[in-house]
Amino acid sequence: MIGSLLILVKLKTDMPQTKSIFPIPDFTLSPRIDQVGVEERASRFTKRSIKKESKLKGLKLVLNMIDLTTLEGKDTDGKVKQLCYKAMHPHDALAGLPTVAAICVYPTMVKVAKKALEGSGIKVASVATAFPSGQAPKEIKIRDTKYAVANGADEVDMVISRGKFHAGEYNFVFDEIAAIKEACGEARLKVILETGELGTFDKVRRASDIAMYAGADFIKTSTGKIQPAATMPVTLVMLEAIRDFYYKTGRMVGMKPAGGISKSKLALHYLVMVKEVLGEEWLNNHWFRFGASSLANDVLMQMMKEKTGVYQAANYFSVD
């Protein structure tokens, strides 16, 4: 591999040193992205038509891939418990529905969510590392992560230091992700790139590569606090990075587009894209998620339409 370092690389972090079993590339040599080509290919996925049984199967799959999220300063125990109830019981009038994949909350709400979801199989995810800005010392980020995991988080969603990334300090970003991965212990790590702040597809690809080689279990587009959030072209760039990483290392990495996906039709287009770029192995909630709480209601409305032939009004569904 051009620009590779040693096959066995010690990561320089303030945590006890860990080892990477993969060749670490020179991230300044990440592939250049054909913007026109990516946008054209992404648009083709929106031309697909999915009907009847295939549509219903796809909607159930989408529902099972959603991370229901509440990340507000006004979050209360009661609000989190209500969201957990919805996660376990998406709609009383629709039998046989799957649950969502996870509930995502701040670290201080992890214990509440964990207790409310007990026995359901739904994961508890927690944002950490000074979400959403990422502007905090690494020591604080590590403590934030350990606090979430100690309170029961199954997954941690961290944000990269975009300022360091834009300054070209790629080793800093790499080492920080590796340190947070170690702090996660058994919890899975989702690394949020905040693609709306990266600016170009080339930078999205570079950030994706850094995150995966540093140990990310998932790469994620956005915090949902910055616009633009997830888009199909950006997600396509990240999916292709995951594919190339898998071919080089044999390790699967998950993908989570977050923010801006509120309609079922668009979500189904995302699933088509995942299948064609990565294959059916990624079409489950262990490897693919939607960070889009409002999407759940639209999925439920579409399912009611398939069952009854008519749409229900939006106010029949709880607002998340």
The question of whether 157 is a catalytic residue gets the answer yes
Q: Is the separation of the CB atoms in 114 and 108 below 8 Å? A: no
Encoded tokens for 235:
């997600």
d(CA 30, CA 6): 18
d(CA 77, CA 111): 10
Q: What is the dihedral of CA 232, 235, 237, 241, to 10 degrees?
A: -160
The question of whether 220 is a catalytic residue gets the answer yes
Which candidate in 157, 209, 217, 298 is catalytic? 157
Q: Is the separation of the CB atoms in 99 and 124 below 8 Å? A: no
The question of whether 67 is a catalytic residue gets the answer no
β-bridge pairing 155-159 and 188-192: parallel
DSSP β-bridge partners for residue 19: 10
Q: Which amino acid is at 148?
A: A
The set of catalytic residues is 157, 220, 256
